[in-house]
A and B are shown apart, each in its own frame.
Chain A
Amino acid sequence: MRTLIKGGQVIDPGRMNQMADILIEDGKIHTIDVNLQPTLKNPESVTIIDAKGLIVCPGFIDLHVHFREPGFEYKETIATGVDSAVAGGFTTVCCMPNTNPVNDSQSITDFILRQAKIADKARVFPIGAITKGSKGEELAEIGELHQAGCVAISDDGIPVMNSLVMRRAMEYARAFDLPVIDHCEDSHLSAGGAMNEGFVSTELGIPGIPNAAEEVMVARNIFLAELTQSRLHLPHVSTIGSVRLLRDAKSRGVSVTAEACPHHFSLTEEAVRTFDTNAKMNPPLRTDADVQAVKGALKDGSIDVIATDHAPHAVHEKQRQFDNAPFGIIGLESALPLTLNLVEDGVLTIEQAIAKLTCEPARVFKLPFGTLALGADADVTLIDPKKSWTLDPSRLRSKSRNTPFAGWTMKGQVVKTLVGGRVVYEAE
Chain B
Amino acid sequence: MSLKRKDLLSISSLSPEEIDLILEAAEPFKEVSGREIKKVPALRGKTVVNLFFEPSTRTSTSFELAAKRLSADVINFSPGSSSVVKGETLLDTARNIESMQADIIVLRHSSSGAAESLARHVRSSVINAGDGWHEHPTQGLLDLFTIKEKKGRLSGLSVAIVGDVAHSRVARSDIHALLKMGAEVRVVGPPTMIPAFIERMGVKVFSNFDAALPGVDVIIMLRLQLERQGRSLFPSMREYATLYGLNSERVQRTGTDLLVMHPGPINRGVEISHEVADSSQAAILDQVSNGVAVRMGLMYLLSQLQ
Q: Give residues of chain B (172-194) contacting chain A, Cβ–Cβ below 8 Å.
A: 172
- Contact call A325/B197, Cβ cutoff below 8 A: no
Q: Most chain-A CB neighbours within 10 Å: which of B88, B113, B116, B172?
A: B113
* Closest partner residue, chain B, to A206 (CB atom): B112
* Residue from A210, A319, A322 in contact with B88 in the complex, judged by beta carbons closer than 8 Å: A319
A210 to B12, CA, bound (A): 24
Given the interface contacts A197-B196, A198-B197, A203-B12, does A316 sit within 8 Å of B88 by beta carbon? yes
Contact code string A200-218 (vs B, CB < 8 Å = 1, else 0): 0111111110100000000
The answer, yes or no, to whether A320 is at the interface (CB within 8 Å) is yes
The answer, yes or no, to whether B37 is at the interface (CB within 8 Å) is no
Q: Give residues of chain A (257-283) contacting chain B, Cβ–Cβ below 8 Å.
A: 274-275
Chain A residues with Cβ below 8 Å from B88 are: 316, 319-320
- Contact call B113/A204, Cβ cutoff below 8 A: yes
A32 to B198, CA, bound (A): 60
The answer, yes or no, to whether A47 is at the interface (CB within 8 Å) is no
The answer, yes or no, to whether A100 is at the interface (CB within 8 Å) is no
The answer, yes or no, to whether B273 is at the interface (CB within 8 Å) is no
The answer, yes or no, to whether A199 is at the interface (CB within 8 Å) is yes
* Residue from B85, B112, B166, B196 in contact with A199 in the complex, judged by beta carbons closer than 8 Å: B196
Given the interface contacts A202-B201, A203-B12, A205-B132, does A321 sit within 8 Å of B117 by beta carbon? yes
B90–chain A nearest beta-carbon distance, Å: 6
B63–chain A nearest beta-carbon distance, Å: 21
The answer, yes or no, to whether B109 is at the interface (CB within 8 Å) is yes
A201 to B85, CA, bound (A): 23
* Residue from A198, A208, A210, A321 in contact with B109 in the complex, judged by beta carbons closer than 8 Å: A321
* Closest partner residue, chain B, to A208 (CB atom): B196
- Contact call B91/A319, Cβ cutoff below 8 A: yes
Q: Give residues of chain A (7-60) contacting chain B, Cβ–Cβ below 8 Å.
A: none
Q: Most chain-A CB neighbours within 10 Å: which of B87, B109, B131, B198?
A: B87
A320 to B113, CA, bound (A): 11
Chain A residues with Cβ below 8 Å from B132 are: 205-206, 323
Chain A residues with Cβ below 8 Å from B69 are: none
- Contact call B196/A202, Cβ cutoff below 8 A: yes
Contact code string B69-113 (vs A, CB < 8 Å = 1, else 0): 000000000000000011110110000000000000000011111
- Contact call A323/B112, Cβ cutoff below 8 A: yes
The answer, yes or no, to whether B134 is at the interface (CB within 8 Å) is yes
- Contact call A324/B87, Cβ cutoff below 8 A: yes
Given the interface contacts A319-B88, A321-B114, A325-B87, does A205 sit within 8 Å of B109 by beta carbon? no
Chain A residues with Cβ below 8 Å from B87 are: 319-321, 324-325
A179–chain B nearest beta-carbon distance, Å: 34
The answer, yes or no, to whether B169 is at the interface (CB within 8 Å) is yes
Chain B residues with Cβ below 8 Å from A207 are: 133
- List 8 other contacts, CB 8 Å, given A199-B200, A206-B134, A323-B132: A199-B196, A202-B166, A202-B195, A206-B132, A210-B196, A322-B113, A323-B110, A323-B112
Give the A-binding residues of B (Cβ under 8 A): 12, 85-88, 90-91, 109-114, 116-117, 131-135, 166, 169, 172, 195-198, 200-201
